[in-house]
């Protein structure tokens, strides 16, 4: 049923296979793009990058654009703000740092604006009535995400995108 392979032959085979993997990995991951999408297919199995995908030419023209609508945060934090990233502009009070916050949270293969998992364990902490709705395009993909501060997970998700979303930690500390 099982074939017995001499130990020496097995060692040579494994060594040769490892050499091929190391040599191909030294040149870096090979990435190919599917037509019309920003998703990359990594040619080497198991090799991933945490860097955001490269910006395609058509995205350079329009740039990353987000519309942020904040309600019930109080004062000047409420309103609708436009953010144009990678050509920094818009009506947001801190466009440059808002773009940096989204860039910092962008990971290859993950949705930057994804909701928290429904089966997650969250603290029963209430962060106030503030809500936010973010729409637009980021890294070539459509964005339509809602945020609130109804529990510990939602507060943490909100705080990750400060200052794209207003910093309500200061208000809570007062």
- Rounded to whole angstroms, the Cα distance separating 40 from 109 reads 9
- Rounded to whole angstroms, the Cα distance separating 155 from 122 reads 10
Quick check: is 7 in a domain? Answer: no
Q: pLDDT digit string (tens) for 118-173?
A: 899 999 999 999 999 999 999 989 999 999 999 999 999 999 999 999 999 865 55
What is the count of structural domains for the chain? 1
Instruction: Give 143 or 19, the one with higher predicted confidence.
Output: 143
Identify the band that residue 35 occupies on the pLDDT scale cut at 50, 70 and 90: very low
pLDDT at 86 over 80: yes
142, burial (CB in 10 Å: exposed 0-12, middle 13-18, buried 19+): exposed
Quick check: is 82 in a domain? Answer: yes
- Segment 29-37 mean pLDDT: 39
pLDDT at 30 over 50: no
**Nearest residue to 112 (alpha-carbon basis) of 141, 150, 80:** 141
Q: Write down how long the chain is.
A: 174
pLDDT at 15: 53
In 120-168, where does DSSP find H-type helix? 152-160
Quick check: is 167 in a domain? Answer: yes
Quick check: is 75 in a domain? Answer: yes
Q: Which domain holds residue 164?
A: 57-173
């Amino acid at each position: 049923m099982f074939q017995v392979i001499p130990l020496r032959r097995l060692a040579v085979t494994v060594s040769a296979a490892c050499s091929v993997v190391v040599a191909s990995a030294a040149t870096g991951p090979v990435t190919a793009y599917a037509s019309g999408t920003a998703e990359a297919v990594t040619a080497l199995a198991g090799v991933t990058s945490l860097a955001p995908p490269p910006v395609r030419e058509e995205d350079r023209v329009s740039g990353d654009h987000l519309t942020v609508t904040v309600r019930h945060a109080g004062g000047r934090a409420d309103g609708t703000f436009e953010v144009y990233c990678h050509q920094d502009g818009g009506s947001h009070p801190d466009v440059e740092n808002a773009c940096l916050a989204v860039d910092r949270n962008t990971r290859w293969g993950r949705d930057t604006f994804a909701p928290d998992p429904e089966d997650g364990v969250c603290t029963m902490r209430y962060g106030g009535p503030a809500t936010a709705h973010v729409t637009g395009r980021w890294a070539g993909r459509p964005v339509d995400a809602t945020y609130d501060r109804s529990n510990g997970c939602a507060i943490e998700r909100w705080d990750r995108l400060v200052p794209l979303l207003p910093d309500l930690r200061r208000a809570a500390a007062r």
